[in-house]
């Protein structure tokens, strides 16, 4: 296994501080691992500009690389292209449901680009507990700015929805 492959394996265990059911790889935050010989470079794309977890994620990523003995390493923050919820892996979407958070639907049209000129009408949000789409939004913001609060009208359970970006 190459040093980059070992780094990807280790980074798959680094949990997101705001949604600790997902790794930073599940979320698609880790974009690249580049082996420069003397140093590893881990390219990260924050979920949104100003995300308060960015610094904690960077520290956790570099700490995991160092603990595994793969360093020295540096993190590079890349803001373009902007992160989109389409980068969440299928495994990450499953983990969100299991954690009780409804995963976002696709934001990109087939072959499209993540720029929206008009408001996109959201599909019905499926309850992560019972699967019903008879749900209603109770608040535009949940425990973090990237989530909204919903309630299922079928099973009556509240849940968070990871907003599509």
pLDDT reported for residue 105: 80
Look up the CATH number of the domain holding residue 38. 3.30.300.130
pLDDT reported for residue 117: 46
pLDDT reported for residue 148: 92
Q: Which domain holds residue 16?
A: 3-77
Quick check: is 16 in a domain? yes
CB 158 within 8 A of CB 149: yes
Task: Kindly state whether residues 8 and 55 are assigned to the same domain.
Answer: yes
pLDDT reported for residue 52: 83
Pick the more confident residue, 118 or 84: 84
Distance, CA of 82 to CA of 121 (rounded, Å): 21
Distance, CA of 140 to CA of 163 (rounded, Å): 9
pLDDT band, very low/low/confident/very high, at 109 (cuts 50, 70, 90): low
Reference 144, options 30, 34, 51, 33; nearest CA is 51
Assign residue 105 a region: left if phi > 0, alpha if psi is -120 to 50, beta otherwise? beta
Cis peptide before 151 (omega within 30 of 0): no
CB 3 within 8 A of CB 42: no
Residue that finishes a domain, picked among 77, 112, 137: 77
Quick check: is 85 in a domain? no
Task: Kindly state whether residues 70 and 17 are assigned to the same domain.
Answer: yes
User: Residue-wise over 109-125: b if at least 16 C-beta within 10 A, else e?
Assistant: eeeeeeeeeeeeeeeeb
Tell me the average pLDDT across 125-146.
Answer: 92
Calculate Rg over the CA atoms of the chain.
17
What are the backbone dihedrals phi and psi of residue 32, each rounded to the nearest 5 degrees, phi first?
-150, 155
Q: How many domains does the chain have?
A: 2
pLDDT reported for residue 73: 96
pTM: 0.76
Quick check: is 131 in a domain? yes
pLDDT reported for residue 68: 95
* Residue at token pair 């019972």: 130
pLDDT reported for residue 157: 95
**Which tens digit of pLDDT belongs to each residue from 12-67?**
999 999 999 999 999 999 999 999 999 999 999 998 888 888 999 999 999 999 99
Quick check: is 110 in a domain? yes
Cis peptide before 81 (omega within 30 of 0): yes
Reference 162, options 107, 82, 113, 81; nearest CA is 107
**Which tens digit of pLDDT belongs to each residue from 57-98?**
999 999 999 999 998 999 999 989 989 899 999 999 999 999
């Amino acid at each position: 296994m190459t040093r980059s492959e070992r780094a990807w394996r280790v980074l798959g265990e680094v949990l997101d501080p705001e949604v600790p059911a997902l790794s930073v790889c599940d979320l698609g935050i880790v974009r690249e691992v580049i082996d420069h010989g003397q140093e590893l470079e881990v390219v990260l794309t924050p979920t949104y500009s100003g995300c308060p977890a960015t610094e904690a994620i960077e520290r956790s990523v570099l700490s995991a690389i160092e603990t595994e003995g793969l360093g020295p390493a540096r993190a590079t923050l890349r803001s373009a292209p902007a992160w989109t919820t389409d980068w969440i892996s299928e495994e990450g979407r499953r983990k969100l449901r299991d954690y009780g958070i409804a995963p976002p639907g696709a934001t990109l049209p087939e072959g499209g680009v993540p720029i929206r000129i008009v408001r996109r009408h959201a599909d019905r949000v499926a309850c992560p507990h019972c699967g019903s789409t008879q749900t209603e939004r109770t608040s535009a913001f949940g425990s973090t700015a990237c989530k909204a609060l919903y309630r299922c009208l079928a099973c009556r359970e509240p849940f968070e929805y990871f907003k599509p970006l």
